[in-house]
């Protein structure tokens, strides 16, 4: 009972109760069923005064729980900077800086939890490490996975290879995308992350001394973001210039994935980007002043024209006529199919035509052309005189 009471007193930061129990000969190294002792709880709570009382009473400073965690692990995991300073600066117990049963040193635990102050302190104490845990994750992977942008910023100042793969063949950038952490993805992208490294979730097994290399997935970050429908990350990736031709295990491009997942906005963004980069290849000297975005257009300057093409699409365009226009404007078969995939009913072709007009408008504005003149002339060329006349009204 006394030892259970000591655990509760330490965990609750009740200094007077801890003092009382220790003076009544409470045993300080009794562990619970998880291997936790009072000194671990003091490290977790970050209470240096209680920690000093336990050590004075003879607590084992190097005690580990069942997961191989010592006081340094617990302190790092819960931002106990004073505890870490005491054990490293005052007691010089550098041997506490060991991996736990998961292969994680205190530095990795601090990164995983997003403790900037602790990360800074561990770097100052020369306890920075780029070593991996047993799943192949570095501190960079763990911070990216959990969306800790400020910690990432600190780590990137120390890091050499930001495209390292864990055992699932995931880079830190991929993990940021997978977790939907746009700011982390942006930061890693700016630092030079390779957006086209394939994610190959793999597993090694041994059979008659042969390594079987099994692919479970085969995706780029663009595929994953398209599947999730995350517009912000899609925008970041598209601006960076992804390889749109890459396919997953099923042979699908990111556009096909977005289409299958019924993310109409993402489909339209990818098509805009595909058309833009084709144009850019032939006009590389004309793009320096473009304020590039592939998101939906809400610009006040284009509001009236957007209203005009809405009217054309919903009130004048007949079934399949939008496809003829799309082909005239060099939309690919895959792009047309991706637009058609979002079927909402018998009148879906009206919505499809409207989206096609807006995608076309995005490209015309980038090229600096007059959309009104361009649309009128193209409609006449296609034999749509009635539509051209309606567009002028």
**DSSP output for 13-65:** T-HHHHHHHHHTT--TT---TT---HHHHHHHHT-HHHHHHHHHTT--TT---
Q: For the chain, give the percent of residues with pLDDT over 70.
A: 91
Q: Which of 174, 130, 189 is nearest to 155 (CA)?
A: 130
Instruction: Reply yes or no on whether the pLDDT at 261 is more than 60.
Output: yes
- Read off the pLDDT of residues 83-97 as tens digits, 9 standing for 90 and up: 999 999 999 999 999
Give the confidence band of 387 by pLDDT, cuts at 50, 70, 90.
confident
User: CA end-to-end span of the chain, whole Å?
Assistant: 88
Per-residue model confidence (pLDDT) at position 2:
44
The neighbouring-strand residues paired with 53 are none
Q: Is the predicted pLDDT of residue 287 greater than 60, yes or no? A: no
Q: What is the pLDDT of residue 199?
A: 57
Q: Residue 20: pLDDT above 90?
A: yes
Residue pair 268/355 in contact (Cβ under 8 Å)? The answer is yes
| pTM attached to this predicted model | 0.71
Confidence of residue 284 (pLDDT cuts 50, 70, 90): low
Give 116's pLDDT tier (boundaries 50, 70, 90): very high
Q: 125-129, 177-181, 296-300, 337-341 — which is least confidently predicted?
A: 177-181
Evaluate if residue 151 carries a pLDDT over 80.
yes
Quick one: CA torsion of 239, 243, 245, 251, rounded to 10 degrees?
Answer: -100
The predicted structure's pLDDT at residue 180: 83
pLDDT tops 70 at residue 392: no
How buried is residue 238: exposed, middle or buried, by Cβ count under 10 Å (0-12/13-18/19+)?
A: buried
Q: How far from 328 is each of 123, 128, 202, 272, 391, CA to CA, in Å? A: 60, 58, 44, 16, 18
Higher pLDDT, 228 or 264: 264
CA atoms of 321 and 353, how far apart (whole Å):
8
* Residue predicted with more confidence, 248 or 27: 27
Residues sharing a CB contact under 8 Å with residue 199, sequence separation 6 or more, in sequence order:
168, 169, 170, 174, 217, 218, 219, 220, 221, 224
342 confidence band (pLDDT: 50, 70, 90)? confident
Residues 6+ apart with CB under 8 A from 333: none
pLDDT confidence of residue 391: 64
pLDDT at residue 218, as a whole number: 58
Per residue in 42-94, pLDDT tens?
A: 999 999 999 999 999 999 999 999 999 999 999 999 999 999 999 999 999 99
Residue 214: pLDDT over 50: no
Average pLDDT, the chain: 88
Q: Is the pLDDT of residue 107 over 80?
A: yes
| Pair type for strands 202-207 and 210-215 | antiparallel
């Amino acid at each position: 009972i006394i030892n259970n009471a000591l655990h509760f007193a330490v965990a609750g930061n009740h200094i007077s109760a801890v003092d009382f129990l220790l003076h009544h000969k409470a045993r300080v190294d009794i562990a619970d069923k998880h291997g936790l002792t009072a000194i671990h709880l003091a490290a977790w709570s970050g209470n240096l005064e209680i920690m000093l009382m336990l050590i004075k009473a003879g607590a084992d400073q190097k005690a580990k729980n069942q997961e191989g965690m010592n006081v340094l692990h617990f302190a790092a995991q819960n931002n106990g900077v004073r505890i870490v300073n005491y054990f490293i600066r005052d007691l010089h117990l550098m041997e506490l800086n060991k991996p736990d049963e998961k292969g994680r040193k205190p530095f990795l635990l601090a990164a995983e939890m997003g403790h900037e102050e602790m990360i800074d302190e561990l770097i100052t104490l020369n306890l920075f490490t780029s070593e991996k845990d047993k799943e192949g994750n570095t501190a960079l992977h763990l911070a990216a996975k959990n969306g800790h942008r400020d910690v990432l910023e600190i780590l990137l100042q120390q890091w050499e290879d930001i495209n390292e793969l864990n055992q699932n063949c995931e880079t830190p950038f991929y993990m940021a995308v997978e977790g939907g952490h746009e700011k982390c993805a942006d930061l890693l992208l700016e630092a030079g992350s390779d957006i086209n490294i394939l994610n190959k979730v793999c597993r090694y097994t041994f059979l008659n001394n042969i390594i079987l290399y099994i692919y479970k997935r085969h995706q780029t970050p663009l595929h994953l973001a398209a599947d999730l429908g995350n517009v912000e990350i899609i925008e970041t990736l598209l601006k960076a210039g992804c390889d749109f031709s890459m396919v997953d295990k099923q042979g699908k491009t990111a556009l096909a994935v977005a289409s299958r997942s019924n993310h109409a906005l993402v489909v339209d963004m990818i098509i805009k980007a595909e058309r833009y980069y084709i144009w850019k290849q032939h006009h590389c000297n004309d793009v320096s002043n473009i304020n590039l975005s592939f998101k939906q257009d809400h610009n006040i300057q284009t509001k009236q024209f957007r209203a005009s093409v809405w009217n054309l699409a919903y009130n004048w365009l007949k079934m399949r006529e939008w496809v003829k226009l799309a082909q005239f404007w060099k939309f690919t078969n895959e792009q047309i199919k991706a637009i058609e995939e979002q079927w909402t009913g018998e009148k879906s072709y009206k919505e499809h035509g409207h989206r096609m007009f807006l995608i076309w408008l995005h490209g015309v504005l980038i090229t600096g052309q007059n959309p009104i003149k361009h649309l009128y002339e193209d409609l006449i060329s296609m034999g749509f005189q009635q539509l051209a006349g309606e567009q002028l009204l």
